[in-house]
Structure 1
Amino acid sequence: MLSKNSTLKLFPITIRKDKINYIIENERTGDFLEMPEICVDAIHWIQDQFTLKEIEEKLVNKYPNEEVDILDFVEQLLELQLVMEVDGVLVEQNIKNNVVKRFNWISPSFAKLIIHRYSIGILFLLILVNIVLFAADSTLLPNYQVVFLFDSIVLSLVTYLIVSLILLLFHELGHILAMRAYSLPTNLEISNRLLVLIVLETDMTAGWKLPPKKRNVLFLSGVYMEQWILFLTILCKLFLPIEGSLIDSILSIVIFDIFVKTVYQCCFYIRTDFYYLFENVTSCYNIMDHSKNYLKKWLPFLQVPTTTEPYEREIKYVVIFSIFQVIGVGFTFLILILYSIPQVIYVYANLLPYLFTPENTKNFWEAIFIVGQSIVFLFLLVFTWRKGYKEKRNI
């Protein structure tokens, strides 16, 4: 029975100082937690086998302005499955080892050839150069029709999807190489954004082992790969004699895809790489919920999962992030209006009528393909929704 006279034994953990608080790594599961200094002190005294009563007294003396409830803290440690024994009695628990060890075949020395300490500086230079190139030649700016490079809409869409998938894999390869450059394990998973965007995600949980400055490289490495591809693609279109060719059209699709994905990176509210970068730079790891709480003054329909208040130092970042959230929503509508909606209208307006004219074999089967593709998309969407729902229930 847990009491203030109890002593505890914890599972092996690693404690690292972050910018403001501390990062606690559960070495058994590979999970990471953020804790303030008062909690870290409590953990140190638990490890030194002080009773909970003695620890509470020490905390009250050291932190007179803090509300101390040692039993409540221990209950949280139990829920987090960090406690191995209470008064010498093993705590029953079922812990799965979540440490991922895939992609370990990628050598860190090889990864460092591509992702290195100069990557962030090079990235900002690439973004600046690419913006200048777009400004110098406005014809490089994409329009929604560039994806329809064949008379066959289906063939055009298949080509676009293949190009987009390859570029997405390069983006995730950037994250994977960044993780391996620091000899960290990682994994590739499927998820969704905005309830309808199905995406691949690189698991960068182990990145919490790194200091904040090095974690920035992990978050920006995907965009870094894309901006290199965009730069080289623009150079090819400008200086190679390929105008009007199939290669030229495919390169236009590359520019379109990276351009749209880069704009989406600015949509912080869907937890993009730029969102995690902002979170990491400011050390405000609950900034999304605090921002929703702030915006709820004007948008009462927002669902806020937490009622905790931000620290005083975080308030300015909450305001800045809230502005970025609103701008991101504007970018989303801009992409929808200029690109996504016109593309969908073009496809369905040109093909759906042929569902009722099977005598036109080619167009009829293209219409069937589009409907089938939509069904597959909905299936994957339901799968990711269900996966997310199960994960929330297991929290």
Structure 2
Amino acid sequence: MTAVALDADSRPDVTRLLVRQEDEDEYVVGDPATGRFVVVPEAGARLIELLAAGHTVAEVADLLEQELGEPVDVLDFVEMLVEAGIIDGTAAVAAGRTEADQAGDADKPDEPKKKVKYWVVSKIPPWVVKPLFGKVAWTFYVGCLVATLVMFVLDHSLLPSYEDAFVVTDIVLSLLITNVVVMGLAVVHEIWHAFAGAAAGVRAQLRLERRGIFTVLETDLTGLWALPPAKRYSPFLAGMAFDAVILFAAVAPRFAYSRGWIDLSPNLVRFLAMLVLSQVGKLAFQTLAYLRTDMYLVMATATGCKNLHQVTRLSLKRLIRKLTPLEQRILRDADAKDLRVARWYRLLYLAGIVWMVWFAFNFILPAAKVTLGWASGVMVGAPVFSFYWWEGILLIVFALVNLTMPLVVVVRNRIRARRAAA
């Protein structure tokens, strides 16, 4: 991490760190500016307090030994914070060196520092977006969801089908419309998370990730872990709240149309049906806690778990194959709450996998079959290089990109992991 190793005389710069008690004997420590946090015991929180007072690593070790009655490896703890990206290793070393040592570095070029880029949306002042997540707003969000469920019960024809993805008879144009709308709503879904984070004073970053067989946009709100649990729920649920409003706005006109209360054009009815399919799919996806979706974060916060997903996955994995030494250590050192909740959460995990397989066979594969079949038929029947021939080519490329995108994200993440390790 640095050109000079940390030593007993170092004075790590921990002045920007936030320390908040999470549980009876656990504290959350991190830098709100970078969104990186770790959970440490009470002794770790006291250690940071002493470092912030200006003591060296050696002085903190002596003070803690006097207070606790046993030696504490302060240097190892500081190195752990550096590796986790909580504190800057270069600053930690420089703080412990003499003025003469630092003066000798005056002619050396500065090492590049990794800067955290925050999404512009997340820089909105809290007072601007707070009304969107107050009691009145949440009453409206919940009311939209409840009203939609009532309409589904009263009229089952409003429930979505994979055929609703095709808005017009021209498949290429239909898929273009559907995907532009779906991607646009997905971006606003994430913006709503960022709005809720901004209302809570937390900045966000947008990134492309994978959840099972799905490629997703994700808003990184790591800074929420610096807040009390009760203040995390609104940002976690904000995206689903937006989806519930759009779903209601799509179902209500069709419900009124089915009862003859209003008149709608056939094209608008099909467009609204496509919106229903999109939003139902999104809301159903968020309930798949095993994919670390919004509801997983809600559940993990409510149960006080720290690493529930990995603990559950490893507890199931060891039933079918031997764990690596690192995986065994993670499971052995897991928090008691994670182990306790994992006993029943693993059932949800397995049920989620079953649902994902069902969804793939009933929605993704049928839609891909229709798309690829139609494209192949067009390419065979149309003259080469004609408009319809190119339309078939575009459809095949489009379908293959959608089917392989999760694999692309997996490869990208592995490449990044290897570079980080190097």
Q: Distance in 2 between matches of 1:85 and 1:114?
A: 41
Residue 294 of structure 2 aligns with which residue?
273
Which amino acid is the alignment partner of residue 70 of structure 1?
V
In structure 2, relative to structure 1, the CA distance for the partners of 1:262 and 1:112 (3 Å cut) is same
Distance 2:227 2:219 in 1: 16
Q: Which residues in structure 2 correspond to 1:144-163 (within 5 Å)?
A: 144-163=162-181
Greater mean deviation of Cα atoms: 91-100 or 227-236: 91-100
Deviates more, 1:217-226 or 1:28-37: 28-37
For residues 49 and 273 of structure 2, the distance between their equivalents in structure 1, rounded to whole angstroms, comes to 58
Q: Is 1:199 equivalent to 2:216 in the alignment? A: yes
Q: Note if 1:237 corresponds to 2:262.
A: no
Where do 5+ consecutive residues of structure 2 fail to align? Answer: none
Check whether the contact 2:131–2:137 (CA below 8 A) recurs between aligned residues. no
Matched, 1:264 2:270: no
Deviation at 1:248, TM superposition (A): 0.6
1:137 aligns with 2:150: no
Say whether residues 1:391 and 2:416 are aligned partners. yes
Secondary structure (helix, strand or coil) at the match of 1:291 reads helix
Look up the match of 2:120.
Answer: 102
- Paired AA for residue 256 in structure 1: L
How much does 1:53 deviate?
Answer: 5.0
Q: Could you give the per-residue CA deviations for residues 245-278 of structure 1, whole angstroms, max 9, x where no partner exists?
A: 1111010011111111212112223221112222
Q: Are the structure 2 counterparts of residues 297 and 127 from structure 1 closer, same or farther at C-alpha, using a change threshold of 3 Å?
A: farther
Counterpart contact for 2:165–2:274, Cα < 8 Å: yes
User: Is 1:101–1:186's contact at 8 Å kept on the other side of the alignment?
Assistant: yes
Moved more, 340-349 or 264-273: 264-273
Give the SS at the match of 2:160: coil
The CA distance in 2 between the partners of 1:359 and 1:2, in whole Å, is: 69
Q: Distance in 2 between matches of 1:76 and 1:325?
A: 31
Q: CA deviation at 1:38?
A: 1.8
RMSD: 3.3
Deviates more, 1:14-23 or 1:85-94: 85-94
Partner of 2:192: 174
Higher mean C-alpha displacement, 14-23 vs 345-354:
14-23
Q: Percent identity?
A: 22
Structure 2 CA distance, aligned partners of 1:68 and 1:226?
Answer: 50
SS of the aligned residue for 2:296 comes to helix
Aligned to 1:34: 39
Mapped to 1, the partners of 2:268 and 2:71 lie a distance apart of 66
1:180-217 per-residue CA deviation (whole Å, 9 max, x = no partner) reads: 223433333333333x5332222323333432211111
Structure 1 range deviating more: 26-35 or 266-275? 26-35
How far apart, in 2, do the equivalents of 1:122 and 1:104 lie? 23
What aligned pairs does 1:328-367 form with structure 2 within 5 A after superposition?
328-359=352-383, 361=386, 363-367=388-392
* Partner SS state of residue 12, structure 2: strand
Residue identity in the other structure for 1:255: V
Q: Distance between the aligned counterparts of 1:114 and 1:336, measured in 2? A: 35
Distance 1:303 1:325 in 2: 21
**Counterpart in the other structure of 2:269:** 248
Please state how far the C-alpha of 1:124 moved relative to its aligned partner. 4.5
**More deviation, 342-351/84-93:** 84-93
Alignment check: 8 A CA contact 1:147 1:157 kept? yes
Q: Is the 8 A contact 2:378 2:392 kept in 1?
A: yes
Comparing 376-385 with 74-83, greater Cα deviation is found at 376-385
Q: For the residues of structure 2 that align with 1:197 and 1:302, how far apart are their CA atoms?
A: 26
Gaps in structure 1 of 5+ consecutive residues: none
- Name 1:319's counterpart in structure 2: 343
Question: Structure 1 residue 229: deviation in Å?
Answer: 1.0
**For the structure 1 residues 88 and 347, does the alpha-carbon distance in structure 2 shift closer, same or farther, using more than 3 Å as the test?**
same
Q: Does structure 1 conserve the Cα–Cα contact (< 8 Å) formed by 2:250 and 2:275?
A: yes
Which shifted more, 311-320 or 102-111? Answer: 102-111
Aligned 8 A contact 2:151 2:255 in 1: no
- Offset, 1:362: 5.6
| 2:206–2:220 CA contact under 8 A, matched in 1 | yes
- TM score, norm. by length of structure 2: 0.81
